[in-house]
Amino acid sequence: GAVVSQHPSRVICKSGTSVKIECRSLDFQATTMFWYRQFPKQSLMLMATSNEGSKATYEQGVEKDKFLINHASLTLSTLTVTSAHPEDSSFYICSATGLRAGNEQFFGPGTRLTVL
């Protein structure tokens, strides 16, 4: 299957700072990338869908000014958590799909964010 990487794998930051997470498709062109958040012992909750070159579509209840998503190329999408607070601590996972992928979404390894 296709490979999706995510960086960093783990980040600890102070409350009020911003954190950027990168999601890269390494061997295919990702026309669409998805960002999920997963709290402990819960399911994956979709935060937003991003298509290359256009603005992201956010799910209901997700603040677009707090979670900035940029999908500037067919291989890279970034999620920036602005003014992070302890309640933003979670496991953030991206996935990518494209023409080569058919229906399948390929998931990144996830980023564990801890806000102190």
Q: Does 104 bind another protein (CB under 8 A)?
A: yes
Instruction: Give the shortest CB-103-to-another protein separation in angstroms.
Output: 5
Q: Does 25 bind another protein (CB under 8 A)?
A: no
> Of residues 88, 90, 97, 113, which one binds another protein by CB under 8 A?
97
> Of residues 32, 70, 82, 89, which one binds another protein by CB under 8 A?
32
CA atoms within 13 A on the CB side of 30: 31
Instruction: Give the shortest CB-5-to-another protein separation in angstroms.
Output: 11
Q: Does 1 bind another protein (CB under 8 A)?
A: yes
Q: Does 42 bind another protein (CB under 8 A)?
A: yes
CA 104 centroid distance within chain: 17
Exposure string of 27-46, with b = 16+ CB inside 10 Å and e = fewer, is ebebbbbbbbbeeeeeeeee
Q: Which of 37, 53, 56, 34 is nearest to 45 (CA)?
A: 37
